[in-house]
Structure 1
Amino acid sequence: MNTKRILVLGIGNILWADEGFGVRCVEALNAGWSFPDNVTLMDGGTQGLYLLPYVQEADCLLVFDAVDYGDAPGDLREVVGDQVPRFMGAKKMSLHQTGFQEVLMAAELTGKLPKELVLIGVQPEELEDYGGSLRDIVKAQMVPSLNLALDWLERWGAEGRIRHDIAADLTDRALAIDVYEGERPPADQAYRLGDARFLNLEAA
């Protein structure tokens, strides 16, 4: 019997275009496959240090995220072991990355850093689009990312089984990618780069 406690985290903010890559990956993994009871799939969002107890309890941690490596948009990287914390803080795109790097540091300081760490990350194309969704070049990396994750989970003794039922949603159904993309207003109806009232203050 496999007693490894495995945590699969998708982190990021789905409201800022490619920032939502990690969350969309873990949602798709949950929708498509079922896993043994020792595997937890979690939408970590931007919760930062609130994720610490979950990380401390895990023996194996796999993280999906959008990370600015300085690569070409859409480039996929697989980062393993002690390189993961360094890459999580490579170029901070948002507060969630600062928070998650701190989670890993705190877990290490308490002697409860997972024994195995994997980061599956993609270089974003667009972040400054509030209410936007994944760009095509980033969305195209979801399937390769899921395949990498499935390989790691199998290596850890937790083979995924293709679902023939409907999975419980990890987050509110209203935020699921099909609903989110289908119901959001187009950019010409809802300005998505910020609040126009505050954008030209300097010019004024």
Structure 2
Amino acid sequence: MVESITPRTGAADPCAEGYAPIVVLGIGNLLWADEGFGVRCVEALGQRWDFAPHVQLVDGGTQGLYLLHHVQAARQLLIFDAIDYGLEPGTLKVVRDKDVPRFLGAKKMSLHQTGFQEVLSLAQLTGHYPERVLLVGCQPQELEDYGGSLRPVVRAAMEEALALGVEALRDWGAEPRARDGAAAEVDGVTLPSLALERYEGGRPTAEAACRVGDARFMPAAPAGD
């Protein structure tokens, strides 16, 4: 389910060094359940698609102001993020161009969005702001689950989000080409240890997980208990 989608077409404008730089940015925190939606989308793009050399996929995490140089370098900027729109979990919403910083400012969900709104504002102040900005956001279902992963409804929404992203990238001249196989780990956007399949495979069950701290450093129970 998608809200407020306005199709945009047209090839990217060439520049002196070739095509205009395109940055695909996933922001959020993988360790807080649906907060990881944006990073998981960029990770999946890197695994499934090859792009032209002027396209950069970035795991933005919660880096805030450290993402400024990526935004300043982009002529076109595609952002994936989990955002509380007040809609049904898993609902996608697309926001474009000048509405993106205004929307993030009005719909703060976590500290990383506050920081990224500042990044966009600073890029505008420095005169190095993308000509096109597209935000593909997803309504989260669960955020208060440290160590958790995407909920099924949000994970299912990734497929439509990726299709929207690839369509925009194709229009911008990113030349997406479906991979024959999965990307090598060394080419991955996220750290290999945090890649979705390995992350899921290494998680303990909810019953086995320690929810009060790191069991390796907790004091041993007194004898006889």
Q: TM-score, normalised by structure 2?
A: 0.83
Partner AA of 1:107 in structure 2:
A
SS at match of 1:140: helix
User: For structure 2, which runs of at least 5 residues remain unmatched after alignment?
Assistant: 1-13, 215-225
Q: Which residue of 1 aligns with 2:205?
A: 186
Q: Which residue of 2 aligns with 1:154?
A: 170
Contact 1:77 1:120 in 2 (8 A): yes
User: For structure 1, which runs of at least 5 residues remain unmatched after alignment?
Assistant: 197-204
The structure with the larger Rg is: 2
Q: Which residue of 2 aligns with 1:173?
A: 192
Q: Which residue of 1 aligns with 2:117?
A: 101
Q: Distance in 1 between matches of 2:83 and 2:102?
A: 11
Are 1:36 and 2:55 an aligned pair? no
Q: Which residue of 2 aligns with 1:59?
A: 75
Alignment map for 1:16-27 (pairs within 5 Å): 16-27=32-43
Contact 1:150 1:159 in 2 (8 A): no
Moved more, 156-165 or 105-114: 156-165
Q: Distance in 2 between matches of 1:117 and 1:170?
A: 21
Q: Which residue of 1 aligns with 2:221?
A: none
Contact 1:68 1:90 in 2 (8 A): no
The sequence identity of aligned pairs, in percent, is: 58
Distance 1:173 1:91, change over 3 A: same
The alignment of Structure 1 onto Structure 2 pairs a total of residues equal to: 195
Q: Distance in 1 between matches of 2:43 and 2:70?
A: 18
Partner AA of 2:80 in structure 1:
F
Q: Which residue of 1 aligns with 2:152?
A: 136
Are 1:11 and 2:30 an aligned pair? no
Partner AA of 2:112 in structure 1:
H
What's the CA shift for 1:131? 0.4
Deviations 1:108-143 (CA, angstroms, capped at 9, x unpaired):
011111010000000000000000000011001111
Partner AA of 2:79 in structure 1:
V
Q: Distance in 2 between matches of 1:165 and 1:19?
A: 27
Deviations 1:130-183 (CA, angstroms, capped at 9, x unpaired):
000000110011110110011101111112101125421112111000011111
Q: Distance in 1 between matches of 2:159 and 2:165?
A: 10
Alignment map for 1:48-87 (pairs within 5 Å): 48-87=64-103
Deviations 1:49-106 (CA, angstroms, capped at 9, x unpaired):
0000111011000000000111111110111111111222233222111110000000
SS at match of 1:158: coil
Q: CA RMSD in A?
A: 1.5
Q: TM-score, normalised by structure 1?
A: 0.91
Deviations 1:10-47 (CA, angstroms, capped at 9, x unpaired):
00000000000000000000000000001000100000
Partner AA of 2:135 in structure 1:
L
SS at match of 1:9: strand
Query: Which stretches of structure 1, 4 residues or more, deviate above 4 A after TM superposition?
Result: none
